[in-house]
Amino acid sequence: MTQTSDQDRVLIFDTTLRDGEQSPGATMTHDEKLEIAGMLDEMGVDIIEAGFPIASDGDFEAVSEIARRAQTSVICGLARANFKDIDRCWEAVRHAKRPRIHTFIGTSPLHRAIPNLTMDEMADRIHDTVTHARNLCDNVQWSPMDATRTEYDYLCRVIEIAIKAGAMTINIPDTVGYTAPRESADLIARLIADVPGADEVTFATHCHNDLGMATANALAAVDAGARQIECTINGLGERAGNTALEEVVMALRVRNDIMPFQTGIDTTKIINISRRVASVSGFPVQFNKAIVGKNAFAHESGIHQDGMLKNAETFEIMRPSDIGLSDTNLVMGKHSGRAALRAKLKDLGHDLADNQLNDVFVRFKALADRKKEVYDEDLIALMQDSADTAPDHIQVKFLRVICGTEAPQSADLTLTIDGLDHQVTAQGDGPVDATFNAVKALFPHEARLQLYQVHAVTEGTDAQATVTVRMEEDGKIVTGQSADTDTVVASAKAYVGALNRLIVRRTKAGKDGKEISYKDVS
Ligand code: KIV
Ligand code: ZN
């Protein structure tokens, strides 16, 4: 699709690594953040919000490194409305070819009450902080948090101040997912008409999905004149998440007849980044999720299949290949060689170096020995398992479970913890409970199990199970994920994976041991 004019171009601002990663449980390791940022850059995302540098040393390092590595995307960091945040943000993003500072303050009555500022005091704060950011960086974005619940006159007043102080992008967040499409469009149209200087800047839309309207609200805002959409892969984000990148991008592409706007996104990269974000964040994509759900292109009922065979357009408004799905699912097995595996993995978005391939090949052979047919989904699960980059302080070395109709069940487990083997036998109410009790006996902790979820990767009794475990300690949430044909082994590995992330999380906090959220108002 060719770009017709600048007027029609909508910028895609991805905040998976900031708004997405700050959602409870979606913690990513440093290496995972670099990998996702690389994928976003490669797929044509215009602006990557790489993190919130003041939040922790880990965030700062990640944003700095992403800034150094980015090829074409603008690299943006978030900062609250104070000089310390802004300076720290600039320190991190300044390494980028194209840096941006994004500073914000909550402007609605409820948010103004938190720092206890009067309207005038807040207006002065906005002037001073945007001016300060602009003195450091040419490219400044400003957001009035909770804009959709801010008094309209005050919103106009503070936006004008931010524009005069040098902000080039004005983002209008629907922080609590409260607005609706018509209102979203009206607000943008009115602001563009009423605020002096509005025609000199880009208006952005940042929607949360609490009422399931984030995509519709973002598109309505674009229709009314916004030219930047803030979004995340898979709609990742706090509570019900943010606008999903894949949804707005594909909607603009498929319904270009009524929404004549272009993005710079290579849509064929969508499925791989969606899978990778699901894996590293530990937030699986729901089966019926628009665009990237497992069933998004599945046609099972007889009448659908018949229609599809005659003409794919009967039930499909886009082709699987548009988002990078291959039309064929060639089955691999124990006789498949290294070259076939390499080609298949390349198709699935994993271009492996020789040493990586050797490692994966060994695991593939082990899987093929246990499972007659290895499908794309099996290989994806296998890659996700081998790609967990949280350092392995703890590893599962041996597990044998005795279970049957008579309770209790027991688990004989050996864990390698920081290089040393530890063994225990524990009992529990079922094999998974016994295994988790054994892990806890060997690595005592206070973290609370919040979620235990099992998904069969494919059909059949020899299917691999993907297990997701979510745990909470001192308000911090971590997840672990693993796949195996043995559900109990996958459970043990997922549990241990979550504990490894917990250890990372404990060391991730800033120098004072405190990790700041963007909602902490200074
Ligand atoms: O939702 C929100 O208001 C935000 C701001 C920090 C832009 O994420
Ligand atoms: Zn947000």
Q: What is the pLDDT of residue 103?
A: 98
Examine residue 289 and state whether it is found in any structural domain, yes or no: no
Contact 189, 225 (CB under 8 A): yes
Q: Is 123 touching ligand 1 by the criterion CB < 6 Å?
A: no
Q: Is 469 touching ligand 1 by the criterion CB < 6 Å?
A: no
Does 228 or 514 have the greater pLDDT score?
228
Number of Cβ within 10 Å of residue 36's Cβ equals: 25
Q: Is 232 touching ligand 1 by the criterion CB < 6 Å?
A: no
**349 conformational bin, left if phi > 0, alpha if psi -120 to 50, beta if neither:** left
> Which residue range forms the structural domain that includes residue 504?
394-512
Examine residue 165 and state whether it is found in any structural domain, yes or no: yes
Does 254 or 335 have the greater pLDDT score?
254
Q: Are residues 250 and 304 in the same domain?
A: no
pLDDT classification of 369: cutoffs 50, 70, 90: confident
For residue 416, what are the β-bridge partners? 395, 421
Q: Are residues 91 and 178 in the same domain?
A: yes
Q: Are residues 335 and 233 in the same domain?
A: no
pLDDT digits (tens, 9 = 90+) for 401-434: 998 888 889 999 999 999 999 999 999 999 999 9
Distances in Å between the alpha carbon of 201 and those of 47, 69, 77, 128, 191?
Answer: 16, 28, 19, 19, 12
Number of Cβ within 10 Å of residue 173's Cβ equals: 23
Q: Are residues 109 and 186 in the same domain?
A: yes
Examine residue 47 and state whether it is found in any structural domain, yes or no: yes
Give the span between the Cα atoms of 272 and 264, in whole angstroms: 17
Q: Which atom of ligand 1 is nearest to the CA of 19?
A: 8
Q: Which atom of ligand 1 is nearest to the CA of 230?
A: 7
**Per-chain mean pLDDT for the chain:** 90
Examine residue 517 and state whether it is found in any structural domain, yes or no: no
- pLDDT at 2 > cutoff 70: no
207 Cβ contact list (under 8 Å, min separation 6): 173, 174, 177, 179, 184, 213, 214, 215, 217, 218, 221, 230, 242, 243
Q: Which atom of ligand 1 is nearest to the CA of 146?
A: 3
Q: Are residues 91 and 116 in the same domain?
A: yes
Q: What is the pLDDT of residue 3?
A: 40
**CA 281 to ligand 1 center in whole angstroms:** 20
- pLDDT at 164 > cutoff 80: yes
pLDDT digits (tens, 9 = 90+) for 454-506: 888 777 788 888 898 888 888 777 888 888 989 999 999 999 999 998 887 77
Q: Are residues 368 and 478 in the same domain?
A: no
Does 389 or 149 have the greater pLDDT score?
149
Q: How many structural domains is the chain composed of? A: 4
Examine residue 30 and state whether it is found in any structural domain, yes or no: yes
**Residue that finishes a domain, picked among 337, 363, 386:** 386
Q: Are residues 339 and 427 in the same domain?
A: no
Q: What is the pLDDT of residue 316?
A: 78
Q: At 99, which CATH number? A: 3.20.20.70
Q: What is the pLDDT of residue 272?
A: 94
378 Cβ contact list (under 8 Å, min separation 6): 367, 371, 457, 458, 464, 483
Nearest alpha carbon to residue 63 among 34, 35, 40:
34
Examine residue 3 and state whether it is found in any structural domain, yes or no: no
Residue for token pair 């799905």:
325
**CA 242 to ligand 1 center in whole angstroms:** 10
**Residue that finishes a domain, picked among 347, 369, 386:** 386
Q: How many CA atoms lie within 13 A of 101 on its CB side?
A: 31
Q: Are residues 313 and 234 in the same domain?
A: no
Examine residue 91 and state whether it is found in any structural domain, yes or no: yes
Q: Are residues 229 and 357 in the same domain?
A: no
Atom 2 in ligand 1: residue holding the nearest Cα: 175
The alpha carbons of the chain give a radius of gyration, in whole angstroms, of: 24
Q: Over pLDDT 70: what percentage of the chain?
A: 91
Q: Are residues 367 and 489 in the same domain?
A: no
Q: Please state the pTM of the whole predicted model.
A: 0.84
Q: At 472, which CATH number? A: 3.30.160.270
Weakest mean pLDDT among 22-31, 52-61, 193-202, 278-287:
22-31
* Helix, strand, coil distribution of the chain in percent, nearest 5: 45, 20, 35
Q: Are residues 213 and 341 in the same domain?
A: no
Examine residue 1 and state whether it is found in any structural domain, yes or no: no
Q: Are residues 306 and 352 in the same domain?
A: no
